[in-house]
A and B are shown apart, each in its own frame.
Chain A
Amino acid sequence: MSGLEGFKDELETCFGTSCGFCERGCPVYQDLKVKTLCMRGRNRTMLGLLQGKFEITPAVVQAAFECTLCGNCDRWCALKNTEHTQAFREFLLKHGVEPMKEHSSLALSLKNYGNPWFQPRSARNRWMKGLNIPKAAPGQHEVLFFAGCTSAVTKPLNRSLVATAKLLQKAGVKFSTMGQDEPCCGSTLLRVGQTDAFNELSAANLKKFEALGVKKIVTACPGCYTTLKKSLEGAGSKIKVTHAAQEIAQLVKDGKIKVKKSTERMTYHDPCHLGRLGGVFDEPRTIVESVATLVEMPNNRYESRCCGAGAGLQTAFPKLSKNLASKRIAEAKATGATTLVTSCPFCETQLRTIPGMKVVDLMELLLDSAQDIEKNNGQNKKTV
């Protein structure tokens, strides 16, 4: 058994337990308070569907897709809830449900342009201008910097990639990029239930990476991080996948990147895919603490709240998505911090739509500090 059928035992376990702990902190449920839109209810919906208790209706489709796949429910459970939901979406598409029009356009763009945002492949080269980054070639570099579609083809997000690359260069890390040949990791396909297309893409990606002979892929995108890590590990590849925050935090600790610490209060927003789903909590905080005073939001680390951008929610359910962002910004403001730092292009874009809080990318923050210290020619009082 595969797909949703393969999870039937887990769906029954959820029904048997029915604790409802997944409702705690579920961003969508807490906003809408409809039980079909949280995991206990969604698991029941899947079970009822498999039992033939009802047909696929618009409400069933809504139950499947009105979710950010942020993994909050997994944090409070021992079941693979986000995987259930992905399988639920796949099940619906395979049973004749048309992809939501917003999602089908993402998939169409991916097919035609290699990214979900209808940008030409050449747009991936834009952010690298003047950085003198070598193009990946077989056997040339062990480290591949994987930019990710969203940051690479969205101009305002290029700065984060530039900052990451400059920081790696400053620390003397030798790396290459694939430029316009960089493929999409397929995260979008996976989240909206297009599993077959995702598997096909993943297999092709693996061949490309293996052909380059790289040993490590460093990415600045949390979605790419969890997607590539899981698919490469699942395929038995020895290529290691890390997030840039992990690499750079270590370089800061080793003294290879000099920075200036200020007394400014900043808070850090854990992107779902990097934190709860990726298990990377400490390294971004190491970076923030090296340049500022970190103040935590009440919901942090495993309990971090989704910004509302994930899993197609931003495109298909914009009002709900914005509500979630507003709640997160309100939480950040209440800490008294001047700045919210994050390390995900989706979170950054989403949270910037809410006025009243400065939102900064982790790598840009660090680069500013590092450049500042260089300008002052090492005259600062405290360096880390």
Chain B
Amino acid sequence: MSYIDELVTALGKEKVLTDPSEKYVYGADWSPRTPDEFVPPDVVVLPRTTRDVQRTIKIAYAHEVPVTAGGGLTGMLGGAVAIYGGIYLDTTTMNSIVEIDSKNQTARVQVGATLQEVNDAVQPYDLWLPHQPESKWVSTVGSAIACDNDSTFGVRYGKILNCLLSAEIVTGTGEILELGHRKAHFTSSGYKLKDLLAGSEGTLGVITEATLKLEPIPATRRVDMLVFPRMGAAVDYLNRLLKAGLCIEAAHINCKRRLKFYTHSYSLKYGRDPEIPAWAEALLAIAFAGDTEVVETQRNYALKIAKDFEAQLVEEREIVDAWWASKYTLDFEPFKQKWPDSQKQKKFGAADPGVPMGRLEEFYHKYVEIAEKHQLEIIGMNAYLEHPNSIGFSLSCAVFVDYRNADEVRRFRDFHDELSKLAVAFEGTMSTFMSDTYQKAPYLELEHGASLKYMREVKRIFDPKGILNPGKKFLREVGKK
């Protein structure tokens, strides 16, 4: 009996898609690729329960068939594309909210729930999950963990790992494990295996359920934008705010080119891009949230200090609102959503390095230089603060990619690789929100050195036959089926 027949027997035919047209649609994510570069899996499985996932993996283990788990398919670097075929496990079919514990401010969910679905469910309890990427309507809890993607509110709440208390996984042998510390916020016990899941790309196990730490919904929020003559001045300003003891909810430094990408609704309304002073090189979007009086006090203090850094407040509210619509509310005119209205010809593509705060401006100039070298249209850079109460940057170094042009897609990939490698030379990291996927696998040793060997060993413990998302993080071993 073939493994696909076994899947049908074990799960029922309604949970197993085998038609070529059905498999085809699961063959690409949000990453820049040409319309010819679909990589369909050999079969798609739609599990409803952890047991379904376990049955699937046990069959895959017996037949040594690759299993690639996916969520919203909004990955920007092909992480959930089944490059070696086999089984695509669509976790979006597992989207139940298992428990909302309002007293302890936690939620237990099946990880196919989108981040928005979780928030819709917990909002009546005056709680929210603050991990908020722009893809939150589609991005699932599982993919947020496995990809370790970005969040608008990282400087206050961190990323998904800061919200993740515990997770259930199915390992590469089909064993079900719970990793974490139940509803406790932290632990000093044992090894923190749960933390390995962040950015694991489904290579250690398929995440099936998660216990998430929720936060009270702030009563008010004020979002502002300040312009600075230099990017470094914006960094110094943020440092000053933290030294002053302010609690920043969101902070993003954009180069002036990047603003245009974020103000789609403004451009639609006025038929032109927003204007900022000619001298401004950087824009800082910053938010404070909480009780009105506290927010006003913090905001006023922040604006008072701004003068010491040659900063100027952007008075035109519609510029700020347009930016915020793009980053958070996604509240665009009906039938004119930014995606895909802003990229009908070329699509967004990015590298996602992280660099130390003192080298941000220097790195920005390198990014522009490298994009120009590869003849790519520059969108601009956004530096998100993604670590609670610290200046920890996640950089989105973006370009437009003509995805209908194979040569341009190749040049984009070269650009991505060059910037990733450069970030290591800048004493930073290659990846801060897309993970490694197959793209960075060939040169991952550059970042991790000898420790890469230990990572391989960790992978071997969880997935001895190497069936879980092969080719991601590590090049696939020669001789594998």
Using a CB–CB cutoff of 8 Å, the interface residues on chain A facing chain B are 12-21, 23-24, 33-36, 40-41, 44-45, 47-49, 51, 53-55, 57-60, 63, 74-79, 276, 302
User: Assuming the A-B contacts A21-B138, A77-B337, are A45 and B347 also in contact, with contact meaning beta carbons closer than 8 angstroms in the complex?
Assistant: no
Q: A18-B28, A45-B21 are in contact. List 9 more A-B contacts (CB 8 A).
A: A16-B343, A17-B340, A19-B337, A21-B138, A34-B22, A48-B38, A49-B21, A55-B20, A77-B340
Q: Which residues of A contact B237 (CB under 8 A)?
A: none
Query: Can you name the residue of chain A whose Cβ is closest to the Cβ of B23?
Result: A54
Q: Which residues of B contact A53 (CB under 8 A)?
A: 20, 24, 38
| Bitwise interface map of B from 224 to 242 toward A, beta carbon under 8 Å scored 1, else 0 | 0000000000000000000
Q: Which residues of A contact B404 (CB under 8 A)?
A: 12, 16
User: Assuming the A-B contacts A19-B74, A20-B138, A34-B46, are A60 and B337 also in contact, with contact meaning beta carbons closer than 8 angstroms in the complex?
Assistant: no
B53 to chain A, nearest CB (A): 15
Q: CA–CA, A378 to B36, complex, Å?
A: 71
Contact check, A15 vs B35: say whether CB atoms are below 8 A apart.
yes
Q: CA–CA, A200 to B38, complex, Å?
A: 39
Contact check, B336 vs A78: say whether CB atoms are below 8 A apart.
yes
A315 to chain B, nearest CB (A): 22
Contact check, A21 vs B403: say whether CB atoms are below 8 A apart.
no
Q: CA–CA, A138 to B341, complex, Å?
A: 46
Contact check, A78 vs B28: say whether CB atoms are below 8 A apart.
no
Query: Can you name the residue of chain A whose Cβ is closest to the Cβ of B76?
Result: A18
Contact check, A33 vs B93: say whether CB atoms are below 8 A apart.
yes
Contact check, B135 vs A75: say whether CB atoms are below 8 A apart.
no
Q: Which residues of B contact A35 (CB under 8 A)?
A: 25-26, 73, 90, 92
| Bitwise interface map of B from 420 to 435 toward A, beta carbon under 8 Å scored 1, else 0 | 0000000000000000
Instruction: Summarize A's interface: helix, strand, loop or mixed.
Output: helix
User: Does B116 touch A at the CB level, under 8 Å?
Assistant: yes
User: Does B365 touch A at the CB level, under 8 Å?
Assistant: no
Q: CA–CA, A53 to B40, complex, Å?
A: 11
User: Assuming the A-B contacts A19-B138, A33-B92, are A78 and B74 also in contact, with contact meaning beta carbons closer than 8 angstroms in the complex?
Assistant: no
Which one, A21, A45, A76, contacts B25 given CB within 8 A? Answer: A45
B241 to chain A, nearest CB (A): 33
Contact check, B21 vs A77: say whether CB atoms are below 8 A apart.
no
Q: CA–CA, A302 to B333, complex, Å?
A: 10
Contact check, A18 vs B36: say whether CB atoms are below 8 A apart.
no
| Bitwise interface map of B from 105 to 138 toward A, beta carbon under 8 Å scored 1, else 0 | 0000000000010000000000000000001011
B170 to chain A, nearest CB (A): 19
Q: CA–CA, A34 to B32, complex, Å?
A: 23
Q: CA–CA, A51 to B28, complex, Å?
A: 15
Q: CA–CA, A19 to B139, complex, Å?
A: 10
Contact check, A78 vs B25: say whether CB atoms are below 8 A apart.
no
User: Does B72 touch A at the CB level, under 8 Å?
Assistant: yes
User: Assuming the A-B contacts A47-B35, A51-B36, are A14 and B25 also in contact, with contact meaning beta carbons closer than 8 angstroms in the complex?
Assistant: no
Scan residues 1-37 of chain B and give those whose CB is less than 8 A from a CB of chain A: 17, 19-22, 24-26, 28-30, 32, 35-36
